[in-house]
């Protein structure tokens, strides 16, 4: 008989509705048991039978819950993580895991002392476009890499309504919004860099936080990795650019999961996670004689259900969760640096 992990969502905004609820109900190893909704009660419309609590205390005091998903504003992750652990729950924490590496270390040590598991929700490791990048590197078709670029750009000149992202408080600004995705992707492939150099910028009118960042990660053997994000880009450029001794790989951001989930498409429906035609990567190789060949490389289907499967296997079968503590600490050391 399959062991079922009773799960509670600490909030029910977009992340609860789109990134967690559909997968927790699609995976037979989880039961979406309860959620916190302080004001409007919307979760029951989407997930029949779910319990809606008025406060996080009520959620944490529910003895049926095994796992708490901490999907609250960035600056609250640290305190809520500690509260959930003290309540005897395992935790799955959205990015950014914490504002500083010191906070992260405290949470990891607390969980160990209480015999509880901590998981970090870095879902974009399971994007179709990023999976294509990992596959081309693993194939060694490009040979020795010299230069790698990961970008996440958009055009959004206005100041957003989410104050925890737009006010100068802990874990705010673009580097704590998109930085955890991009830095994690780089670290997941190449490991902790030897050194890094970071540049932040403020370009929107009246912004109080960074809306541009560029981080240069230096690795052994002259490998240079650049991660960038900019909220003032009208002509979006390819998000993944890799150059190696034998060729180049160019890929635009093409994962469709978020778009599909917003349309109400479920993770177990046909066609989920399959990129649209015309979004293939371009692989250009050069032979020893100097002849260039170019071909399109389609991505394999992807699903964030793989992250939840990894959480399940870690909890039930004690398997190693692929997002490691040392990777999160390396990420936060970069994000917190002046």
CA dihedral 193, 309, 51, 35 (to 10 degrees): 10
Is 175's pLDDT higher than 90?
A: yes
pLDDT at 126: 98
Is 230's pLDDT higher than 90?
A: yes
Is 320 exposed, middle or buried, given 0-12, 13-18 or 19+ CB atoms closer than 10 A? exposed
Q: Stretch 240-264: mean pLDDT, rounded? A: 97
Mean of all residue pLDDT scores within the chain: 96
pLDDT at 164: 86
Instruction: Give the Cα-Cα-Cα angle 126, 273, 165 (nearest 5 degrees).
Output: 55
* pTM score: 0.96
pLDDT at 324: 97
Q: Stretch 132-152: mean pLDDT, rounded? A: 98
- pLDDT above 90 as % of the chain: 96
pLDDT at 2: 76
CA dihedral 180, 185, 186, 187 (to 10 degrees): 80
- Name residue 153's beta-bridge partners: 230
Q: Stretch 153-176: mean pLDDT, rounded? A: 93
Confidence of residue 338 (pLDDT cuts 50, 70, 90): confident
Is 1's pLDDT higher than 70?
A: no
CA distance 81 to 15: 17
- The size of the chain, in residues, is 338
Structure tokens at 5: 């992990």
Domains of the chain (ranges; CATH) run 5-122+306-320 (3.40.50.720), 128-301 (3.30.360.10)
- Give which of 182, 192, 94, 191 is closest to 130, Cα–Cα: 182
Q: Stretch 180-201: mean pLDDT, rounded? A: 98
Is 168's pLDDT higher than 80?
A: yes
Kindly provide the residue ranges of all beta strands, DSSP E only, lying in the chain, ordered along the sequence: 5-9, 30-36, 51-53, 67-70, 90-94, 118-121, 145-153, 195-201, 212-219, 223-230, 240-244, 247-251, 281-286, 292-297
Beta strands at 30-36 and 247-251: parallel, antiparallel or unpaired: unpaired
Q: Model confidence over 69-92: pLDDT tens digits?
A: 999 999 999 999 999 999 999 999
Is 149's pLDDT higher than 80?
A: yes
Phi/psi at 210 (nearest 5 deg)?
-65, 140
CA distance 51 to 33: 6
Categorise residue 155: left if φ over 0, alpha if ψ from -120 to 50, beta otherwise: beta
- Name residue 218's beta-bridge partners: 195, 224
Is 3 exposed, middle or buried, given 0-12, 13-18 or 19+ CB atoms closer than 10 A? exposed
Query: Position of tokens 């905004």?
Result: 13
Beta strands at 195-201 and 90-94: parallel, antiparallel or unpaired: unpaired
Which of 44-48, 118-122, 180-184, 200-204 has the least mean pLDDT?
A: 44-48
């Amino acid at each position: 008989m399959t062991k079922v992990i009773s799960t509670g969502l600490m909030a029910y905004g977009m992340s609860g509705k789109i990134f967690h609820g559909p997968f927790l109900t699609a995976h037979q190893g989880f039961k979406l048991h309860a959620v916190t909704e302080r004001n409007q009660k919307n979760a029951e419309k989407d997930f029949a039978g779910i319990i809606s609590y008025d406060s996080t205390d009520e959620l944490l005091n529910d003895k049926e819950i095994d796992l708490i998903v901490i999907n609250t504003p960035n600056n609250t992750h640290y305190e809520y993580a500690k509260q959930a652990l003290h309540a005897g729950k395992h935790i799955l924490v959205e990015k950014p895991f914490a504002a500083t590496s010191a906070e992260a270390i405290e949470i990891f040590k607390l969980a160990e002392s209480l015999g509880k598991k901590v998981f970090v929700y870095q879902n974009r490791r399971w994007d179709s476009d990023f999976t294509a990048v990992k596959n081309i590197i693993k194939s060694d078709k490009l040979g020795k890499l010299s230069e790698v670029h990961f970008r996440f750009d958009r055009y959004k000149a206005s100041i957003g309504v989410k104050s925890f992202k737009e006010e100068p408080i802990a874990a705010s600004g673009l580097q704590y919004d998109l930085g955890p995705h991009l830095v994690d992707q780089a670290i997941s492939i190449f490991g902790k860099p030897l050194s890094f150099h970071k540049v932040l910028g403020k370009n929107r009118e009246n912004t109080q936080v960074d809306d541009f960042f560029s981080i240069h990660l230096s690795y052994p053997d002259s490998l240079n990795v650049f991660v960038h994000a900019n909220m003032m880009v009208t002509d979006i450029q390819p998000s993944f650019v890799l150059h190696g001794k034998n060729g180049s790989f160019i890929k635009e951001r093409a994962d469709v999961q978020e778009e599909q989930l917003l349309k109400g498409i479920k993770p177990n429906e046909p066609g989920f996670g399959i990129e649209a035609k015309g979004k293939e990567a371009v692989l250009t190789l050069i032979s020893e004689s100097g002849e260039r060949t170019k071909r399109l490389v389609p991505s394999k289907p992807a699903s964030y259900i793989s992250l939840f499967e990894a959480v399940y296997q870690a909890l039930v079968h004690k398997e190693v969760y692929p997002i490691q503590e040392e990777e999160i600490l390396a990420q936060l050391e970069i994000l917190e640096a002046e």
